[in-house]
Structure 1
Amino acid sequence: MRPAPSSDRLAGGKLKQVYVGKVRHRGAIHDGAHEAIVDRALFDAVQAKLAAGAPRRRTGPSGSPHLIAGRVFDETGDRLTPTHANKRGRRYQYYVSRRLTQRRATGAGGWRLAAGVLDGAVLDVVTGLLRARTQLVDRLGVSPDVRPSK
């Protein structure tokens, strides 16, 4: 029996195609000039197990799970920074005034806001604006009949 593949032989939580006699080139998979060292049925079974056990990433389009990171400021103009705390196996996410994340900020005031509440409020406002087309047009200051030229 062969040893289990090490992490350097895994690509994105999946076994590399080279084990079944394939090679990947520029995103496409081709037949290789070598023989398979793992049976295709076993390879597919392992792929399915790896996919089932892979953690689900909850991130936005920017790669950060915090939707408005870097776009929110407190009353002093200090940027709110995403952070988290773990307690009894649960992760609590916050936006915190930047000065509170620095060690030198002893006794400094600042904001600590639950990320879910703030993200939800922003999403509600954006959704409402997009649903109310006339409101969106009024805020942007353009005529609804004007379309961008190509």
Structure 2
Amino acid sequence: VAAKSGRPLDKGDVYKILNLRTYIGEVTHKGNVYPGEHEAIVPRELWDKAHAILQVSPRARAAQNRQHAPALLKGLIFGVDGRAMSPTHARKKGRLYRYYVAQRVLKGDTGDDTNLVRRLSAAEIERAVVDQVRALLRQPEIVAGTWLAVRGDAPDLTEREVYDALQRLDPLWHELFPAEQARIVRALVDRVVVGPEGADIRLRVEGLAGLVRDLAPAPTALEAAA
């Protein structure tokens, strides 16, 4: 879903939409709420339920969302044996713990293979991958390569605008919905191979061009008319 400017909606946009009383047949003027002359398109009961959720602290909501977030590296993370590691979870004393587990462990066929990483914390490996992606976006050669790749579709985009667009992801990351974070990771990460010495993170630089198109500011009406 995109805003009128063409950029993807972020959490701030969604919060503004959820607080538009126009949807329940009311209007706001100078801080006061009045009955509107239009019909409501959102039932009051649904409005009240949504705002009851919004009353929960952002920290508590974030914790709840993480429990239902998609596995960020599902289909992208593999062991040195070339077989995918599967996301799984366990709940202890009411707390959710997420893991990626080797296929051979799930099938009970681990043998004596010392190179096999049987299980690892999903939070730790996902954080390592995201940190690596963020570091990539700061490298001058990556910025230059992305600019060259995106010029075919956006010839007026300058190298500085590409740099600014890539830097915009860093502070924006925690404002993105989990599904959007997963989409970006899948666009930029080709494969994560986990062995006893650590993780080899292979990135898809070509995915940066699409990311820049998403993050670059849309031209204003004045610029478009110039």
TM tier, smaller: 0.5 to 0.7
> Using a 3 Å threshold, how does the CA distance of structure 1 residues 43 and 85 change in structure 2: closer, same or farther?
closer
Greater Cα radius of gyration, structure 1 or 2: 1
> Using a 3 Å threshold, how does the CA distance of structure 1 residues 46 and 73 change in structure 2: closer, same or farther?
closer
For residues 147 and 47 of structure 1, what CA distance do their matches in structure 2 show? 40
User: Aligned residue pairs: how many?
Assistant: 107
For residue 76 of structure 1, report the CA deviation from its aligned partner.
0.8
Partner AA of 1:57 in structure 2: N
Stretch moving more, 82-91 or 51-60: 51-60
Does residue 48 of the first structure (1) align with residue 51 of the second (2)?
Answer: yes
The residue matched to 2:65 in structure 1 has which SS? Answer: coil
Matching residue of 1:3: none
Unpaired stretches in structure 1, ≥5 consecutive residues: 1-19, 22-29, 33-37
Does residue 121 of the first structure (1) align with residue 128 of the second (2)?
Answer: yes
For residue 51 of structure 1, report the CA deviation from its aligned partner.
4.6
For residues 118 and 73 of structure 1, what CA distance do their matches in structure 2 show? 12
For residues 131 and 98 of structure 1, what CA distance do their matches in structure 2 show? 35
| CA RMSD, 1 decimal | 3.9
Is the contact made by 2:137 and 2:143 (CA closer than 8 Å) also made in structure 1? Answer: no
Does residue 92 of the first structure (1) align with residue 100 of the second (2)?
Answer: no
For residue 137 of structure 1, report the CA deviation from its aligned partner.
5.7
Matching residue of 1:58: 66
Partner AA of 2:65 in structure 1: R
For residue 78 of structure 1, report the CA deviation from its aligned partner.
1.3
Matching residue of 2:76: 71
For residues 147 and 49 of structure 2, what CA distance do their matches in structure 1 show? 55
For residues 97 and 120 of structure 2, what CA distance do their matches in structure 1 show? 11
Identity of aligned residues (%): 30
CA deviations on 1:18-77 (whole Å, 9 max, x unpaired) are xx89xxxxxxxx738xxxxx9x6x8755553355469642389xx61x211110100111
TM-score computed with the length of structure 2 as normaliser: 0.37
Unpaired stretches in structure 2, ≥5 consecutive residues: 1-23, 26-37, 154-226
Runs of 4+ in 1 over 6 A off after TM superposition: none
The residue matched to 2:66 in structure 1 has which SS? Answer: coil
For residues 119 and 139 of structure 2, what CA distance do their matches in structure 1 show? 31
CA deviations on 1:117-137 (whole Å, 9 max, x unpaired) are 101111111111101132x26
For residues 57 and 124 of structure 1, what CA distance do their matches in structure 2 show? 21
For residue 115 of structure 1, report the CA deviation from its aligned partner.
0.7
> Using a 3 Å threshold, how does the CA distance of structure 1 residues 145 and 46 change in structure 2: closer, same or farther?
closer
Matching residue of 1:5: none
For residues 118 and 145 of structure 1, what CA distance do their matches in structure 2 show? 31
